[in-house]
Homo-oligomer: A and B are copies of this chain.
Amino acid sequence: MLVSRYLRLILKDICTHSCLHHFLLEFLGTALFLSASLSAVLMLPLAAGKPGRDLMSAGNQSDLSHPAPPLSPVSPAGPFQVALVFGLSIAMAAVSVGGDVHINPSVTIAMALTLRLRLWRAALYVIGQLLGGVASASLLLGLSRDLTPVLNQVSSGVHLHQAVALETLATLQLVLVVLATVSIPLPGMASPLLIGLAVSLGHLVAVRATGCGMNPARSFGPAVITLNFNNHWVFWAGPVLGACLAAGLNNLLLRPRRSGNWWA
């Protein structure tokens, strides 16, 4: 049939060295990014109820419930340090693994939407990223039995639509920067640094309300390990919406592109 023929073509496209190597790089890049960033956040002495505090004794605490952390008076340096950690980690992971990894499912989605990537490859890369997120989150169990501090949660007092809006805004600017760096020739290693800065900015925007997902793989890993999928859809809806908005804005208004097609 036509379907099976297409499936065989897709499978043939996937089973190439370049595609599988890229899948491996997405896995390694995401694992490296999240191992560095989440362990740093676990280790940083931040304020009460926020991601990144009190790691060593965390396993001893009897936190029976996992309530959404209150919007308590966070230490002023808290959001900045988290933003710095994630920005640096993604930049260093992209430099280490090579500049053309996505590491972030929302970036992969935007690449597919702007016809820079075939759909099945995009799906494969997203799977690699999610596996990398789960792998690094499970490694973190060696540091602390309680991963709640690195879990993305909607803070109490924040409406869900506000959380989605902030996630969308943070992802929108990140993906716009990624699409800009892709469309302009840049000196070596400039794009990882720019993307790191965009990730830092996104955290400054959203970290207090949601812990800042912006990257479904980053939200998915700790959620799987802690089996806490409370409001987890927010960390998929916001980034995916932001990626779609960014792809549309980029291709329609900022840098109108000639047409292409998904299957060619």
B45 to A92, Cβ gap below 8 A? Answer: no
Q: Which 7 A-B pairs have the closest CB atoms?
A: A96-B176, A76-B77, A88-B201, A40-B204, A40-B205, A75-B76, A56-B157
**Binary B-proximity of A186-218 (CB < 8 A = 1, otherwise 0):** 111110011001101100111111000000000
A117 within 8 A of B: no
Set B75, B173, B189: member contacting A194, Cβ < 8 A: B189
A59 to chain B minimum Cβ distance, whole angstroms, is 11
Asked if A98 is at the interface of the complex by the 8 Å CB criterion, the answer is yes
The smallest beta-carbon distance between A106 and chain B, in angstroms, is 15
Are A92 and B188 closer than 8 Å at their CB atoms?
no
Which residue of chain B lies nearest to A178 when distances are taken between CB atoms in the complex? Answer: B96
Q: How large is the interface on A (under 10, 10 to 19, 20 to 34, 35 or more residues)?
A: 35 or more
The answer to whether B45 and A74 have CB atoms under 8 Å apart is: yes
CA distance A184 to B192 in the complex (A): 14
Closest chain-B Cβ to A94's Cβ sits at a distance in Å of 9
Q: Is B95 a contact of A180 with CB atoms below 8 Å?
A: yes
Taking A32-B176, A47-B76, A76-B45 as contacts, is the C-beta distance between A194 and B40 under 8 angstroms?
no
Instruction: Give complex CA distance A197, B85 in Å.
Output: 11
Q: Which residues on B sit within 8 Å (CB–CB) of A35?
A: 169
User: A81 contacts the other chain (Cβ, under 8 Å)?
Assistant: yes
Residue in A56, A74, A181 whose Cβ sees the most chain B Cβ within 10 Å? A56
Query: How far apart are A98's CB and chain B's nearest CB, in angstroms?
Result: 7
Is there an interface contact between A39 and B205, defined as CB atoms closer than 8 Å?
Answer: yes
A:77-121 near B, CB below 8 Å: 77-81, 84-85, 88-89, 91-93, 95-98
- Number of copies of this chain in the oligomer? 4
Q: Interface 1/0s, chain A 130-148, versus B by CB < 8 A?
A: 0000000000001100000
> Which residue of B80, B142, B172, B188 contacts A165 across the interface (Cβ within 8 Å)?
B142
Contacts A28-B254, A45-B208 given; indicate if A84 touches B92 (C-beta within 8 A).
no
| Contact A254 B43, beta carbon cutoff 8 Å | no
* A14 within 8 A of partner (CB): no
Q: How far is the CB of A109 from chain B (nearest CB, A)?
A: 17
Given contacts A98-B254, A201-B40, contact A184 B189 (CB under 8 A): yes
Contact check: which of B25, B84, B96, B208 meets A43 at CB < 8 Å?
A: B208
Inside 8 A of A126's CB, which chain B residues have their CB? Answer: none
